[in-house]
Amino acid sequence: GENVEQHPSTLSVQEGDSAVIKCTYSDSASNYFPWYKQELGKGPQLIIDIRSNVGEKKDQRIAVTLNKTAKHFSLHITETQPEDSAVYFCAASIDRGKLIFGQGTELSVKP
Amino acid sequence: DGGITQSPKYLFRKEGQNVTLSCEQNLNHDAMYWYRQDPGQGLRLIYYSQIVNDFQKGDIAEGYSVSREKKESFPLTVTSAQKNPTAFYLCASSISSRGSSNGPKHFGDGTRLSIL
């Protein structure tokens, strides 16, 4: 079955710097790749997603890139702010009802 | 505002007891999901339902049961057969898992279950 690996598990950056989180997936049939942000004590929030027919997608300071050949996708956050501090999860899906999640990255943005 | 309400926020279970976690949504979404989250791990799918009166097992369904009698409600029962139930449980919904949406878009704020 599908397996998703996420790195790094923790990431600390200075405010204003960029942050990059990477995920790899095992099943080449995966066609949907969302990213979620989870704040302490809260449920995850969908922040951006990409489908397999697109190589890159941007939404203000957040972007996601997909390399289908290498089977990896990445989340890029530019001009980081303290409120970006949270746990970020990637996921991959073949069946639209079933997502396989990565292990999470705890991002800390230091003022 | 529309959203997903999970209750209670904290729940304690004695050995051998069944407990039921509530999940209600007022988003008029067809699909609903239950995930389990353990420390340092990603979310794992327990059960999902694409439509009322229908549900499918996820990757870790053993020891859990669900019902979907109403569109807005998808309760999860953690049975005594679940030997390691201590975890953070998240309910989610999406417009339709067969439509243009893909997987859960909205999550509740979770229920933390602990064993006494």
- Report the number of secondary-structure helices (H) and strands (E) in chain B: 0, 11
Average pLDDT of chain B, as a whole number:
90
Per-residue model confidence (pLDDT) at position A83: 96
Per-residue model confidence (pLDDT) at position A82: 96
Per-residue pLDDT 10s for chain B (116 aa) are 679 999 999 999 888 899 999 999 999 999 999 999 998 788 999 999 989 999 999 999 999 999 999 999 999 999 988 889 999 999 999 887 554 446 788 999 999 999 88
Cα–Cα distance between A71 and A84 in angstroms, integer?
Answer: 26
Please name the residue that has the structure tokens 């069946």: A95
Angle among Cα B97, B2, B100 to the nearest 5 degrees reads: 20
> pLDDT tens-digit profile of B51-74?
999 999 999 999 999 999 999 999
State mean pLDDT over A42-70: 93
Grade residue A12 by pLDDT with cuts at 50, 70 and 90: very high
| Å between A30 CA and nearest CA of chain B | 12
The minimal CB distance from B31 to the residues A4, A51, A97 is found for A97
Per-residue model confidence (pLDDT) at position A97: 66
- Per CB-CB distance under 8 Å, the chain A contacts of B104 are 46, 99
Which of B103, B86, B101 lies closest to B12, judged by CA? B86
| Å between A36 CA and nearest CA of chain B | 9
> pLDDT tens-digit profile of A77-109?
999 999 999 999 999 987 766 889 999 999 999
Question: What is the C-alpha R_g of chain B?
Answer: 13
Per-residue model confidence (pLDDT) at position A4: 95
State mean pLDDT over A4-25: 97
CB environment B41-78: b (16+ within 10 A), e (fewer): ebbbbbbbbbeeeebeebeebeebbbebeebbebbbeb
Q: Which amino acid is at B98?
A: R
Cα–Cα distance between B32 and B55 in angstroms, integer?
Answer: 9
| Å between B40 CA and nearest CA of chain A | 6
Chain A contact for B103 (CB, 8 A cutoff): yes
Please name the residue of chain B whose CA is at the shortest distance from the CA of residue A92.
B103
Q: Quick one: CA dihedral B28, B31, B32, B35, positive or negative?
A: negative
What tokens does B11 get? 């729940």
Could you say which residues from 71 to 90 on chain B have a Cβ atom under 8 Å away from some Cβ of chain A? 90
Per-residue model confidence (pLDDT) at position A1: 78
Chain B contact for A89 (CB, 8 A cutoff): yes
